[in-house]
C-alpha cells in the first residue's frame, strides 16, 4: 500500500516561490500505474486540482495556474515536487499530494496535507 508524505515551508512571503515535496513509500514512483498529482484546498473551501505528472515527464496543469506551476518527478529519491511561483494570499491553502489513476479516473492515495500560508 502506497503512503505519501508532503514536506515544505509552512510560511511563504508574497511574490516568492513555494516548493513542496511528496515522498512516496511502499511502491516505486516509476510505476506506470499512476500519475503523481497535487490538489489544494483553501481554508474552509473546496478542492482544486493543480496538476499531475507521469514518471516519464509528461505533465498536465490546471490552466488557471499553468503559468506559475511546475511539477516534476525525481525517480532517484522516489519523490515528486511542486513549485508555485509569484504566490499571493490567494494561494494560502492545504496542499495535498495524491496518486491519480488515468485508467480509473480517481485519486486513490493521498498525503495528509501541508498548510502553506502566504503572508509577509
Which one of 15, 30, 74, 108 is in contact with another protein (CB under 8 A)? 108
Q: Does 34 bind another protein (CB under 8 A)?
A: no
Q: Does 107 bind another protein (CB under 8 A)?
A: yes
How many angstroms separate the CA atoms of 31 and 19, rounded? 24
Q: Does 36 bind another protein (CB under 8 A)?
A: no
Which one of 15, 31, 75, 106 is in contact with another protein (CB under 8 A)? 106
Convert the chain into a string of H (helix), E (strand) and C (coil): CCEEEEECCCEECCCCCEEEEEEEECCCCCCCCCEEEEEEECCCCCCEEEEEECCCCCEEECCCCHHHEEEEEECCCCEEEEEECCCCHHHCEEEEEEEEECCCCEEEEECCCEEEEECC
Q: Interface mask (CB under 8 A) for another protein, residues 59-98, using x and -?
A: -xxxxx-------------------------------x-x
Q: Does 54 bind another protein (CB under 8 A)?
A: no
- Residues of this chain that interact with another protein (CB under 8 A) are 46-49, 52, 60-64, 96, 98, 100-101, 104-108, 110-113
Amino acid at each position: 500500500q502506497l503512503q505519501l508524505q508532503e514536506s515544505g515551508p509552512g510560511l511563504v512571503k508574497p511574490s516568492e516561490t513555494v516548493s513542496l515535496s511528496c515522498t512516496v513509500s511502499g511502491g516505486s514512483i516509476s510505476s506506470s500505474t499512476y500519475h503523481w498529482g497535487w490538489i489544494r484546498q483553501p481554508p474552509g473551501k473546496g478542492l482544486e486540482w493543480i496538476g499531475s505528472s507521469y514518471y516519464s515527464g509528461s505533465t498536465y496543469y490546471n490552466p488557471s495556474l499553468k503559468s506559475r506551476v511546475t511539477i516534476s518527478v525525481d525517480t532517484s529519491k522516489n519523490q515528486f515536487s511542486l513549485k508555485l511561483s509569484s504566490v499571493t494570499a490567494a494561494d494560502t491553502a492545504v496542499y495535498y499530494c495524491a496518486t491519480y489513476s488515468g485508467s480509473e479516473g480517481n485519486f486513490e492515495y493521498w498525503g495528509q496535507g501541508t498548510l502553506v500560508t502566504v503572508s509577509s
